[in-house]
């Protein structure tokens, strides 16, 4: 397998883990789901208005995506084979 293929597989696994972690926490925490839903719905009058650029301007969405990446960041920082734990708390600046 080439290095390019290795990078492609690694990035798809990381993306899948991030999305899984994000979705799990959103459906597990009604307050998070409601806040994100409200933030998105208040910004757009119809689904046709939604673009990547517009979504990137929603600070709460940006914050929860960043926090969802924390487990992958933690894995990359491991310096030994000893078991470690990671606690992630979803917080946003100013709330």
DSSP state of 94: T
Q: How far apart are CA 36 and CA 22, in angstroms?
A: 12
pLDDT of residue 91: 53
Give the pLDDT band (50/70/90) at residue 80: very low
Q: How far apart are CA 29 and CA 23, in angstroms?
A: 10
Residue indicated by tokens 């650029």: 53
Q: How far apart are CA 16 and CA 21, in angstroms?
A: 9
Q: pTM of the prediction? A: 0.58
Q: How far apart are CA 30 and CA 50, in angstroms?
A: 23
pLDDT tens sequence across 11-34: 566 778 888 888 888 889 999 999
The answer, yes or no, to whether residue 54 has pLDDT greater than 70, is yes
Q: How far apart are CA 67 and CA 81, in angstroms?
A: 24
> Which of 1-5, 7-11, 17-21, 52-56 shows the lowest per-residue confidence on average (mean pLDDT)?
1-5
């Amino acid at each position: 397998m080439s290095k390019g293929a290795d990078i492609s597989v690694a990035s798809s696994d990381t993306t899948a883990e991030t999305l899984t972690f994000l979705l799990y926490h959103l459906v597990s925490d009604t307050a998070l789901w409601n806040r994100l839903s409200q933030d998105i719905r208040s910004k757009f009058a119809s689904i046709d208005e939604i673009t990547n650029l517009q979504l990137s301007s929603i600070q709460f969405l940006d914050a929860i995506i960043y926090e969802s990446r924390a487990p992958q960041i933690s894995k990359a920082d491991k310096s030994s084979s000893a078991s470690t734990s990671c606690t992630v708390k979803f917080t946003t600046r100013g709330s």
